[in-house]
Amino acid sequence: METIELLQQYILDGELAKAESLVLEIQASPDAETRYMAAELMSEYGFLQEADLLYGGLLELMPEEAQLKIDRARVLMELGEEDDALLLLTSVRPDEEEYVQALLVLADYYQMSGMAESALRKVEEAEAFLPDEPAILFAKAELLLDGGRYAEAARLYAEIRKSAEEIAGVRLTDRIAESYAAGAAYEEALPYYKESLEHARTPDSLFGFAYAAYQSGLYKDAVRALAELKDIDPDYFSAYALLAQALIMEGEDEAAYRTLSEGLSRDKYDKELYLASGKLALKTGRTEEAEAHLREAIALDPEYMEAIHALVSLFDQQERDAEIIEMVSGLRREGLDWSGLYPFAAYANEREEHFEDAYEFYRLAYHEFKEDPQFLEKFALFLLDEGKREEAIEVIQRLAVLVPDDPRWSSFLENDL
């Protein structure tokens, strides 16, 4: 024991040369228990090569010791030597007491490697050996949650919760709420979030409750929870956008705009806050501020399509046609062909009397916007002005179906035919 305490002290004091020398002494010692404790200690402090040396030496003495195989496999995985680790783990036999432990380590490996189904199979194999073991059921529920099987995960967490409130430092109530919310079952999640808040009003639990409340239409509850969250952690940046949305739903646009401004004062690199601020500024008549916010969002992400669309839409309302044409052309030169911008480019070119370019953009936009009566009307009138009557008839036929209450299009077709 004194040797292990001395080794730990060397590590804590940063005397690594002495620690390494002592490890070599321990490795040569006939005391297997001390060697094993030293291996555990070195692994715990991240000295993986030294831990592997010690575990490897012990395995030479006791090649059939299952626990040593598992311990060394864990270290080898961290060292990136997965093949050797897997050989050790798969050599643990089903009739050995440590077999379930080996299955769970394999499951962890498969999960970290993105092999979710293989991980789940290993956990289910472990469950067959110990069907009522909460730790195994918890591991299974975690995999179900990660795999998007939210309802199954929630049910399993609830089953485990009958015998344990917490596993591996995780409260089961929190996981049930998270599972329901992840599966968009927000109303089912709410009582579990409320229970979590009774235990501890943490920023994450407040945000989870607020989001579920917002999605359930309980906007006042969401506002109260988010206001409390901001008091606890003013740098919880996700709270600002959600709080603003909830305030908007309550008809409090000015308070929402102030909230977004407050969020931007704390995080000047959040493109989503700039976009939300831009859209709300437009709604409240702050066109200059809207443009500034949208430009900031695009400066942070030049391919931020939603912000670009909002800015081009603003230019279209103001008939700033040259800027629309330059922005869309610039994006196309960079290989970014976004059909959502083509109607604006068509209208701008038409107003500027660049009729060939307008026709090109109308045609490019037609496939995606052929269910949009407003676009189709402008396109039909443009085609008629340009003498492209046959193409106009095709567009007008679609209009007659989409807006049968508008007599212009059926009348035109009757008279034309």
Q: What pLDDT sits at residue 416? A: 64
pLDDT in tens, 398-416: 998 898 888 888 788 877 6
Indicate the pLDDT class of residue 223, thresholds 50, 70 and 90. very high
Q: What pLDDT sits at residue 77? A: 93
| Distance between CA atoms of residues 110 and 88, nearest Å | 15
Q: What SS3 class is residue 337? A: coil
| Distance between CA atoms of residues 227 and 177, nearest Å | 21
Cα–Cα distance list, 66 to 29, 73, 232 (Å): 22, 11, 48
pLDDT in tens, 358-408: 999 999 999 899 999 999 999 999 999 999 999 999 999 999 889 888 888
Report which secondary-structure segment, H or E, holds 167: strand 166-167
Cα–Cα distance list, 139 to 122, 125, 143 (Å): 10, 12, 6
Packed helices 203-215 and 238-249: angle between N→C axes, nearest 10 degrees? 30
249 has a pLDDT exceeding 60: yes
% residues pLDDT > 90 (the chain): 84
Cα–Cα distance list, 344 to 308, 362, 411 (Å): 12, 9, 28
Output the average pLDDT for the chain: 93
Average pLDDT over residues 76-87: 92
| Distance between CA atoms of residues 167 and 324, nearest Å | 57
The closest alpha carbon to 278, from 244, 249, 251, 243, belongs to 244
**Beta carbons within 10 angstroms of residue 83's beta carbon:** 8
417 has a pLDDT exceeding 70: no
**Beta carbons within 10 angstroms of residue 238's beta carbon:** 17
% residues pLDDT > 70 (the chain): 99
Q: What pLDDT sits at residue 47? A: 92
CB 178 within 8 Å of CB 208: yes
Average pLDDT over residues 114-118: 90
Q: What residues contact residue 322 under an 8 Å CB cut-off, 6+ apart?
A: 348, 352
99 has a pLDDT exceeding 90: yes
Q: What SS3 class is residue 170? A: strand
203 has a pLDDT exceeding 80: yes
CATH class entry, domain 132-200: mainly alpha
pLDDT in tens, 264-297: 999 999 999 999 999 999 999 999 999 999 999 9
Average pLDDT over residues 298-321: 95
Dihedral of CA atoms 315, 316, 321, 326 in degrees, nearest 10, equals: 60
Average pLDDT over residues 34-40: 92
pLDDT in tens, 122-145: 999 999 999 989 999 999 999 999
Long-range Cβ pairs for the range 269-277 (8 Å, 24+): 269/300, 270/237, 271/296, 271/297, 271/300, 271/301, 271/304, 271/307, 272/241, 272/297, 273/237, 273/240, 273/241, 274/300, 274/307, 275/304, 275/306, 275/307, 275/310, 276/241, 276/244, 276/245
Q: What pLDDT sits at residue 1? A: 52
Tokens of 250: 């309550």
Residues belonging to the chain: 417
Q: Is 244 left (phi over 0), alpha (psi -120 to 50) or beta?
A: alpha
CB 102 within 8 Å of CB 68: no
| Distance between CA atoms of residues 151 and 184, nearest Å | 10
Average pLDDT over residues 30-54: 92
Q: What pLDDT sits at residue 159? A: 93
DSSP β-bridge partners for residue 167: 170
Q: What SS3 class is residue 166? A: strand
DSSP β-bridge partners for residue 166: 171
